[in-house]
Amino acid sequence: MVVETGAGTGNFKQRDVSELDLRDLERDLRRPRTLVSVTLTIFTATITILALVPLFAVIIMLVYRGGKGLCWEIFTQLPPAAFEEGGGFGNAIVGTFVMVGIAALISIPFGIMGALFLAEVGPESRIARFVRFSAKVLTGFPSILAGVFAYSAIVLWTGGFSSVAGGVALSILMLPTIMLTAAEAVKMVPSKMREAAIGMGATQAQTVWYVMLPTALPGILTGVMLAIARAAGETAPLLFTALFSNYWLTSGEQLDLMQPTASLAVLIYNFSGMPFENQVEMAWTAALVLVLLVLTTNLIGQAFSRRTVQD
């Protein structure tokens, strides 16, 4: 049998090689199949390069038009009035930090506790499905509707635009990002580590506090940084919750969070529509500062994600 098969294959090969047109095996651009392959490869490569054009075009324009106005006064002075020269947007930078800070204070503990529930305390429970679903619904929630909600819940209730209302609106947008990435990070903690802690007699709270959270920290921080970066650039939820202000965030000498607050994003929006040269230039400079802030936060977040512990 074996010999026969071997002989058979041998014959087959010999006959085939003699009849084979070797040109059929060549990769040649004149053949339609190769041509299609090469064309499509070049096509996708071109499209990928084209897709990156807006990124670089925006960054180059920001550096070119925004870089001119970059000076120290920008960070210390108040926005200029119409026809006024100079000025800065120190209050908008402070306002952005304050509101993102308020949002972070609400959404980080909330998000991490929710994530611990999803990943550790009750992943199999029936409400976990609802919680996960709710978080996913919030991920796709239009940012302007977070503003509408904060307007009806906080602005109408307290009777005025305030940085607290802006912070609440931003926290709704930060919550799902923090919760879902933190849940993923906690799930990635090797089960050996968790079981070892339980085997030592640690309670669930101790396991979470001493083992799970420290191990999952890089992943959680990635989510937090991404959420902060997103919130810092959001404009729509701040338009009618924090509104805008030409002054510092104080009344008398005290920090006052219950008054209209300027933010970089709203400043860019307001000034971009103005007919005054100085304001438009200021919008570009503010955009450069905002993009630098957002990209730095983003890159820090990505740096954390590379330190995630693998199983």
Partner 1 sequence: MENESTISRPPTGLEKFFNISFRVSAYAFGWLTVIVVLYVIGKISWEAVPAMQEHGLGFITGRTWDANTGEYGILPEIWGTLYSSVLALIIGTLFGVSVAVFLAEGFLSGFVFWVLKFFGLQYHSVLGKLPDALEQLLKNLIELLAAIPSVVYGLWGIFVLIPLIRPACNWLHNQFEWIPFFSTSLPGPGMLPAALVLSVMILPTISAISRDALVAVPPKLREASYGLGATRWETILAVIVPTAGTGIFGAVILAFGRALGETMALAMLVGNSNEMSLSLFSPANTLAALLANNFPEAGEKDLPVLMFAALVLLVITLVVNILGAWVLQRASSGMEVDR
The interface with partner 1 within residues 242-281 (CB under 8 A) comprises 243, 265, 268-269, 272-273, 280
Those residues with Cβ within 8 angstroms of residue 227's Cβ, 6 or more apart along the chain or in another chain: 107, 111, 173, 174, 177, 178
| Nearer residue to partner 1 within complex by CB, 89 or 240 | 240
Exposure letters 176-204 (e unless 16+ CB within 10 A, then b): bbbbbbbbbbbbbbeeebbeebeeeebee
**Angle formed at CA 102 by CA 182 and CA 256, multiple of 5 degrees:** 175
For residue 148, how many other CB atoms are within 10 A of its CB?
15
Helix, strand or coil for residue 254? strand
| Nearer residue to partner 1 within complex by CB, 140 or 252 | 140
Q: Is 234 in the site for partner 1 (CB under 8 A)?
A: yes
| Nearer residue to partner 1 within complex by CB, 205 or 255 | 205
| Nearer residue to partner 1 within complex by CB, 255 or 299 | 299
The interface with partner 1 within residues 123-142 (CB under 8 A) comprises 127-128, 130-131, 133-142
Q: Is 224 in the site for partner 1 (CB under 8 A)?
A: no
The interface with partner 1 within residues 66-105 (CB under 8 A) comprises none
The interface with partner 1 within residues 158-197 (CB under 8 A) comprises 172, 175, 179
For residue 71, how many other CB atoms are within 10 A of its CB?
12
Q: Is 37 in the site for partner 1 (CB under 8 A)?
A: yes
For residue 168, how many other CB atoms are within 10 A of its CB?
24
The interface with partner 1 within residues 202-221 (CB under 8 A) comprises 202-206, 208
